[in-house]
């Protein structure tokens, strides 16, 4: 099952590629020092060559070594994400190209808010945005005016916040333009219809405004820019904007109940309010399309449309993929009725699955080609959802998850860069074309468009180099993703055998067939019918599978995580189906009891490509289930 293509891609579970990484680090550290010495080689050394013999220098070095030794010793209690024994959260070993590139760039310390602070790495960040856009199926040629744009963030939370900022700007811009009332433009007939335009229509109106503005002389252009800026929600704030337009009201954000808590956080941060996040039910842990249709119909009856509808591609707890293709179809139907809205895909986890659908030339692969060699992947709905990414308005992707880069690198990508001008913080020339329409020149002043005021260029270097060494298509990066999906299928097959082996001792089931590389496992000892007892029993099983600050790594045979199934997340009927499969009584599910209002389950994220070690004839999947069987043999009966 192992793919030799991946052997040099990681430092390795045993540190097998230490020599490669060491050679790279020494080579490029020396190269960095050479660069320092040659910025102005005529300048003498500021630190004297004899400094190392001075008492203060030696004392400093001693203290430094002492603290680094202490840090190194304490870090040995870290979670071993690199190990095939780690099956827990959405993290694994780091790709060697990204690790080396990040380390290489760190001493240069570029700040990717502008070209002045990061003349090299800011270009790399722009390239990463285009690399991800190509993976998603977005236009990625900067020569096209409607080219996509993407930038890196600290993680998915900030990327989702950026999606909210852009969606609100595009929804409210046409209303502000009507208020400014420039003569000669074809504007919506009233505020309500302006507020219900789809993002593409808002961008078209923005383009018309910019062309109208360009035809004016400088004083008139400045005056009209000032009038529009004074009418925008970004200037007025929510309360004053809606007070000026009393027939309008804040539009809700629609998301499945499986959505990450960052959406609640984002609405609060932007002052939209948590009440504007409408969480819709799921069917099979995926957004319920009937519930979405009913919600959209109710909003239309009230003369409203959403601000944003969110699809989750790879839910944090279950790895499930919402039917994005069906959501986009409902959006098109609503837009035709004059009730447009933006669609954002939170693919923080599942975004890199799209590499499997991408040919080397960027074309979309047919499902039959993608499915070759798998037992189940991709289901028809899974393929359709991933293929539909190209129709979304914006997408969140986390390179620090399934991109195998270090923490601190998420990404926001929008399909049409022309809307980004609405987020430009340089108010005096928001709508100017001082860059001559040049894509790179515009976004090299990145700080004007993003939430951060400082951001590390080293992360851009890590992402860009990784995507160049392993291009984002099925023949390169996709081979890593493919390996994890094959591992997932092997895990499912072994779990089914484990369930048969445990028959009569423990009831075992997979609550939902996995769509990505995340598998949940539900267990209940035979003879037990009570949900609270089952949960207490599973907590005991989990104790040695969790890392804590007081334990040593070697004390744990394996590492995994857990989550819960709740009626408000699944729906009561779905939860009862799972309980019945575990032989738990339905009446033991009690909403008023803290330990009986949900089902505790094991959660496994199968990112490590070396879980099946063919070189040494070891399957860590088999070993894990053997370990579980041993643990189950000594667990006390639940009481």
Whole-number pLDDT of residue 215 = 94
For residues 95 and 470, is the Cβ–Cβ distance under 8 A?
Answer: yes
Output b/e per residue, 501-534; b: 16+ Cβ within 10 A: ebeeebbbbbbbebbbbbbbbbbbbeebebbbbb
* Distance, CA of 280 to CA of 422 (rounded, Å): 29
Phi first, then psi: what are they for 562, rounded to 5°?
-140, 165
Maximum separation of any 2 CA atoms in the chain, in Å: 84
Distances (CA, A) of 249 to 252, 336, 451, 577: 9, 21, 25, 40
Beta strands 612-613 and 618-619, pairing class: antiparallel
For residues 604 and 518, is the Cβ–Cβ distance under 8 A?
Answer: yes
Residue 8: how many CA atoms within 13 Å on its side-chain side?
10
How far does Cα 443 stand from its chain's mean position? Answer: 22
* Distance, CA of 256 to CA of 346 (rounded, Å): 11
Closest residue by Cα to residue 413 from 111, 160, 120, 173: 160
* Distance, CA of 621 to CA of 523 (rounded, Å): 17
Closest residue by Cα to residue 323 from 381, 404, 393, 248: 381
Q: What is the DSSP string of 423-474?
A: G-S-GGGTT--TTTT-HHHHHTSGGGTSS-S--BHHHHHHHHHHHHHS-SST
Lookup: tokens for 200: 């593409």
Beta strands 253-256 and 598-605, pairing class: unpaired
How far does Cα 461 stand from its chain's mean position? Answer: 19
* Distance, CA of 309 to CA of 15 (rounded, Å): 44
Confidence (pTM): 0.95
Q: What is the DSSP string of 540-605?
A: HHHGGGS--TTS-GGG-S-B-EEEEEEHHHH-HHHHHHHHHHTT--GGG--TT-TTTSEEEEEEEE
For residues 602 and 609, is the Cβ–Cβ distance under 8 A?
Answer: no
For residues 280 and 257, is the Cβ–Cβ distance under 8 A?
Answer: yes
Lookup: tokens for 76: 């040995």
DSSP 3-state of 283:
strand
Q: What is the DSSP string of 194-215?
A: HHT--HHHHHHHHHHHHHHHHT
Taking 70 as the pLDDT cut, the residues of the chain under it are: 1, 427-436, 639
Lookup: tokens for 598: 């949900």
Distances (CA, A) of 441 to 122, 142, 420, 434, 502: 11, 11, 14, 9, 63
* Distance, CA of 303 to CA of 254 (rounded, Å): 16
Whole-number pLDDT of residue 430 = 35
Closest residue by Cα to residue 338 from 305, 310, 306: 305
In the chain, the domains with their CATH numbers are 1-43+77-93+477-639 (3.90.1150.10), 148-439 (3.40.640.10)
Whole-number pLDDT of residue 426 = 75
Whole-number pLDDT of residue 639 = 67
Cis peptide before 543 (omega within 30 of 0): no
Length of the chain in residues, anyone? 639
Whole-number pLDDT of residue 432 = 40
One-letter-per-residue 3-state SS of 178-190: HHHCCCCCCCCCC
- The residues, ordered by sequence, that sit 6+ positions from 476 with a Cβ below 8 Å of its Cβ are 355, 360, 470
């Amino acid at each position: 099952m192992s793919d030799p293509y991946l052997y040099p891609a990681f430092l390795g579970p045993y540190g097998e590629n230490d020599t490669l990484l060491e050679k790279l680090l020494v080579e490029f550290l020396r190269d960095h020092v050479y660069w320092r010495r040659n910025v102005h080689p005529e300048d003498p050394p500021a630190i004297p060559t004899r400094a190392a013999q001075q008492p203060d220098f030696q004392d400093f070095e001693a203290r430094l070594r002492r603290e680094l030794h202490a840090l190194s010793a304490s870090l040995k209690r870290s979670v071993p994400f690199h190990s095939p024994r780690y099956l827990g959260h959405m993290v694994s070993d780091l790709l060697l190209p990204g690790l080396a590139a990040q380390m290489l760039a760190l001493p240069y310390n570029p700040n990717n808010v502008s070209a002045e602070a990061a003349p090299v790495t800011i270009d790399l960040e722009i390239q990463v945005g285009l690399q991800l856009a190509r993976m998603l199926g977005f236009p990625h040629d900067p020569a096209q005016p409607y080219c996509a744009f993407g930038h890196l963030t600290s993680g998915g939370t900030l990327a989702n916040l950026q999606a909210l900022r852009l969606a609100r700007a595009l929804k409210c811009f046409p209303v502000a333009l009507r208020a400014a009332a420039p003569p000669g433009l074809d504007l919506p007939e009233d505020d309500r219809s302006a507020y219900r335009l789809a993002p593409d229509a808002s961008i078209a109106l923005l383009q018309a405004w910019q062309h109208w503005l360009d035809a004016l002389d400088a004083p008139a252009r400045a005056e009209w820019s000032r009038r529009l800026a004074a009418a925008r929600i970004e200037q007025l704030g929510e309360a004053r904007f809606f007070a000026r337009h009393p027939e309008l009201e804040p539009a809700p954000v629609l998301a499945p109940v499986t959505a990450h808590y960052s959406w609640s956080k984002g609405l609060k941060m932007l002052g939209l309010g948590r009440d504007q996040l409408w969480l819709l039910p799921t069917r099979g842990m995926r957004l319920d399309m009937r519930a979405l249709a009913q919600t959209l119909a109710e909003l239309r009856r009230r003369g409203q449309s959403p601000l944003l509808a969110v699809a989750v591609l790879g839910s944090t707890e279950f790895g499930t993929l919402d039917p994005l293709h069906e959501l986009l179809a409902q959006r098109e139907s609503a837009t035709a009725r004059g009730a447009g809205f933006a669609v954002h895909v939170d693919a923080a986890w599942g975004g890199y699955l799209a590499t499997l659908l991408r040919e080397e030339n960027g074309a979309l692969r047919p499902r039959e080609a993608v499915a070759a060699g798998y037992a189940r992947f991709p289901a028809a709905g899974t393929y359709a959802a991933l293929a539909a990414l190209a129709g979304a308005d914006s997408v969140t992707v986390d390179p620090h998850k399934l991109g195998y880069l270090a923490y601190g690198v998420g990404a926001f990508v929008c399909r049409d860069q022309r809307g980004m001008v609405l987020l430009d913080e340089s108010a005096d020339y928001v709508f100017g074309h001082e860059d001559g329409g040049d894509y790179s020149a515009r976004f090299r002043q990145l700080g004007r468009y993003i939430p951060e005021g400082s951001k590390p260029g080293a992360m851009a270097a890590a992402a860009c180099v990784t995507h160049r060494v392993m291009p984002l298509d099925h023949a390169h990066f996709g081979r890593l993703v493919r390996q994890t999906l094959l591992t997932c299928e092997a895990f499912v097959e072994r779990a089914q055998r484990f369930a048969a082996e445990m028959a009569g001792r423990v009831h075992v089931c997979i609550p939902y067939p996995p769509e990505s590389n995340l598998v949940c496992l539900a267990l209940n000892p035979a003879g037990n019918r009570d949900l609270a007892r089952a949960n207490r029993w599973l907590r005991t099983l989990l104790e040695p599978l969790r890392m804590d600050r007081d334990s040593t790594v070697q004390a744990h045979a394996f590492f995994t995580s857990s989550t819960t199934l709740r009626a408000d997340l699944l729906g009561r009927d779905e939860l009862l189906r799972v309980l019945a499969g575990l032989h738990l009584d339905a009446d033991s599910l009690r909403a008023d009891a803290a330990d009986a209002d949900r089902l505790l389950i094991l959660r496994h994220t199968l990112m490590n490509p070396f879980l099946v070690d063919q070189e040494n004839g070891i399957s860590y999947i088999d070993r894990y289930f053997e370990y579980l069987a041993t643990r189950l043999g000594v667990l006390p009966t639940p009481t």
